[in-house]
């Protein structure tokens, strides 16, 4: 088994949830989202990865995007949750907790502790 491949699958599977959760407190632009992911998780995401995902989530009406200009910087595209996005995030969080709870119970029943030893 390739553990790196397994880690990549976990990362990809959780990325939409992590991005929506990063935007939930308020609008953020792409690089802010990347920094937030790095600050709170070990998800290292490049611009080449995040922007196609943000575009897809916008097409799916989970995020809304708007350009903002300020005197001190160049125009930035800010992303915020839509009503549908907030509902999707709530559903995803519930699914995440249910799924990880079941996996935790299975791990506990296997006799393994948090560090993979008996």
**pLDDT tens over the chain, length 118 residues:** 789 888 888 888 899 999 999 999 999 999 999 999 999 998 889 999 999 999 999 999 999 999 988 766 788 999 999 999 999 999 999 999 999 999 999 999 999 866 554 4
Rounded CA separation 106/33 (Å): 33
pTM score, two decimals? Answer: 0.87
- Asked whether the beta carbons of 54 and 100 are under 8 A apart, the reply is no
pLDDT of residue 115: 58
pLDDT of residue 118: 44
Domain residue extents for the chain? 3-109
> Which of 71, 68, 54 shows the shortest CA–CA distance to 15?
54
Quickly name the fold that domain 3-109 has. Answer: Arc Repressor Mutant, subunit A (1.10.10)
């Amino acid at each position: 088994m390739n553990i790196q491949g397994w880690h990549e699958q976990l990362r990809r599977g959780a990325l939409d949830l992590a991005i929506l959760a990063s935007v939930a407190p308020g609008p953020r632009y792409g690089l802010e989202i990347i920094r937030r992911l790095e600050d709170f998780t070990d998800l290292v995401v490049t611009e080449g990865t995040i922007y196609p995902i943000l575009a897809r989530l916008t097409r799916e009406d989970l995020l809304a995007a708007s350009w903002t200009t300020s005197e001190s910087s160049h125009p930035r595209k800010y992303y915020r949750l839509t009503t549908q996005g907030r509902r999707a995030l709530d559903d995803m969080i519930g699914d995440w907790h249910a799924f990880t709870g079941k996996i935790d119970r299975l791990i506990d029943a296997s006799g393994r502790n948090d560090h993979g030893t008996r």
